[in-house]
Structures are given as C-alpha cells and as structure tokens.
Amino acid sequence: MTLLTDLTPEELAAFVRALGWPDFRARQINGWLVKGCDFDGMANLPRELIARLEEVAVAQPARVLEHHVSSDDGTEKMLFGFSDGHCVEGVLMRYRHGITLCLSTQVGCRMGCAFCASTLNGRQRNLSAGEMLGMAYTANRLAMPEKVSNIVLMGSGEPLDNYDQVIRFLRLVSSPDSLNIGLRHISLSTCGLSDGIRKLAGEGLPVTLSVSLHAPNDLIRKQLMPVASAFPMEGLLLSCKDYLKKTGRRIVFEYALIRGVNDGPEHARELAGRLRGMQCHVNLIPLNDVPERGLRASGKAEMQRFLGELKDMDVSVTVRRQLGDDIAGACGQLRAQRLKTPLLPDGDGGKA
C-alpha cells in the first residue's frame, strides 16, 4: 500500500497516471488530502478511481484515537493511531498569535533522557514524512475554522534520529501545495545530536533550532541525558554557532528546572558564562515531575532566582507557559497512560 501523503505532488501525479488517470485528478486528490479528508470524503472524484485507490493506497494514515480538550486553556491533545497499532501524541496550543501544533517524529524514543516519558520502552519505530504530514492535516482539520500557523517538533521522538523523513516532512509541509507553513514558523527540538545539527545547517531550511540543554555542564548533563556522553557540550555549542552562522536563526535553549539538580544560582551563572556572546534565547521549563526517578520541579522562588541571575548576566530568557496540565499535556504522558505502564519502568536513580 502506498501512503499518498508520503508523495510529493509530482510523485502523486505519476502514481495517478500509472493507474490510468490524468494529472488533474492528482491535484484534486492532493487538495482533499490537505483538507484532512479520507477517500470517502473526496467528493468530486469518479467512483472507479476511488475504488482503485482504495485497493492500492492509503489516504490518511493517522486516526484520532483520543481527543482531550483542556477546560483551563483550550489546549487539545490527540492520540493518533496508525494501522500497525502504534500510537503517538500531538498537541494543539492556542496562543494570541495563532495555533501551534506539537508533533511527534518517532514512536517512542531511544535517547533515554531520565526525565522524559517518551523514552519508555525505547524507540519502536520512525514515523514517515507522510505520517507526520497526515497528523498535521488531521490536526488542522480539528482546528477549523482556524488554521495551524506554527509547528513544533517537540512530541515523542528525536527528530535528528529520523533525519531523512523529518527533512522530507519539513519540505512538504512548508510547500504551497500543502499547509504552506513558513519554515520560520517551525521549530525543531533536539536533545543535542551535534552531527545532525551540522547537517541540518546545510539544508537551506531556516527552521528555529531548539536544543534541550537542561544543564550548565557535562557532569550534570550526563546524569540526565545519555546523549551528553556522545556529544559533549563544547562541541554541541560549536554546532549551534555553526547553525546560527549558516541560517541566521538564533538558537533556543530549553532548560527544565529540576529541584536540587540544575537549579542553583551557581548553575545559572555557569550557563550564562557558556552562552556569552551567542545569539540565543533560554526557555526555562517547569519540570513535569518524575517521581519514579526522584526528579521534581524546582520551587517558584528557585525559578525566579534562576531567571534573575540569567537576566543580570544579559541572557535573553523567559519561562515557558505551561499549557494542558489537566490533560496529561507533557511529553509521552498520554501514550504512557494508554500503554498502562508506569512512567518509567526501572526506577533506578537517574537523579544527580
């Protein structure tokens, strides 16, 4: 079976031509796909063509298995299911400037961050570009009459560990034949695969690069993120500077404040020192508690102090607003609930 959302418009035209139908039918099909329609909704196509397509192709890969709407802030969380039984999450967040869609790039994740629920059970498989696009089409349909205006690749999975499909997705979703979402309105979040960042810098895709730093040095970072052993901070920051130079896009550093681990004023000062002179922004995130690992969010006072230290040292910094708390809004939580497994299975001390 061919997944139609995996195809570029040219590939779709060739596919439809091979079935014996003219190119304009492919353009009609693409129009329906972008609207999030499945075969049964493609009203202006001949019945014979639909019947033939149903035999050899899939239109929409992602079924909405669960859909929760936060009564606090209108955030919507979806659990998307695929035909092989796997599922991943997506989140729609409403801001004043538009609707942001948070998408997953892999089923599960193999990066093993101590605080992250997505890493539970490791990586099951990569998502294809068409599966990511299908989720975007379906979510965009749910957002109607509004439109998704921004995308963040911050759901489950490590985008740079699924490099080719993520790049293909970025090219497809930003094209006028698709959702036409400007690359500057797309953020790619990585745990810090320096080699992937260098490669991405050469693609000519000016997406915002978010780097999950979460620590001011390798000692603390290694305790939280196994990836820090393979890609130490110095090299990581150099690859970020390279990205900045090639794309002109400032880097966003994500920093989850974890009580007693990385939230002291000395950590803030060390962080500011390392980022000195770099065009970047720091996003402080209140940790979603991981009691199994003894990891808890920092208190309000610690957060304010950390924020103040960074500001005093002229670092551009904000605290990320928490949305969707009442609907298991954090990474991997909904899927973890669905799998009915504890958040993290082994409970060994990932705590620093």
Which residues contribute to the site for ligand SAH (CB under 6 A)?
113, 115-116, 154, 158, 189-191, 212, 254, 256, 285, 287-288, 290, 330-331
Q: Which is nearer to ligand SAH, 13 or 215 (CB)?
A: 215
d(CA 91, CA 330): 9
Considering just the CA atoms, what is the radius of gyration of the chain in Å? 21
Q: Which is nearer to ligand SAH, 181 or 284 (CB)?
A: 284
Q: Least distance (Å) from ligand SAH to the CB of residue 332? A: 7
Q: Least distance (Å) from ligand SAH to the CB of residue 322? A: 9
Q: Which is nearer to ligand SAH, 19 or 352 (CB)?
A: 352
Q: Which is nearer to ligand SAH, 105 or 138 (CB)?
A: 105
Choose, from 76, 89, 131, 158, the residue flagged as catalytic: 89
d(CA 338, CA 307): 36
Q: Least distance (Å) from ligand SAH to the CB of residue 19? A: 38
- Decide if 89 is catalytic: yes
Q: Which is nearer to ligand SAH, 158 or 302 (CB)?
A: 158
The two structure tokens encoding residue 104? 């997953």
Q: Least distance (Å) from ligand SAH to the CB of residue 133? A: 18
Facing residues of 206 across strands?
Answer: none
List the beta strands (DSSP E) in the chain. 2-3, 57-58, 63-69, 76-81, 87-95, 98-102, 106-108, 123-126, 148-153, 186-190, 208-212, 251-257, 280-286, 317-319
Choose, from 87, 109, 240, 331, the residue flagged as catalytic: 331
Q: Least distance (Å) from ligand SAH to the CB of residue 287? A: 4
Q: Least distance (Å) from ligand SAH to the CB of residue 116? A: 4
Q: Is the dihedral of CA 60, 65, 69, 75 positive or negative?
A: negative
Q: Which is nearer to ligand SAH, 22 or 345 (CB)?
A: 345
Q: Is the dihedral of CA 35, 173, 323, 65 positive or negative?
A: positive
First-residue to last-residue Cα distance in the chain? 48
- Decide if 146 is catalytic: no
Residue pair 30/10 in contact (Cβ under 8 Å)? The answer is no
What HEC string does 162-182 produce? HHHHHHHHHHHHCCCCCCCCC
- The closest alpha carbon to 323, from 100, 122, 162, belongs to 100
Give the residue numbers marked as catalytic. Answer: 89, 331
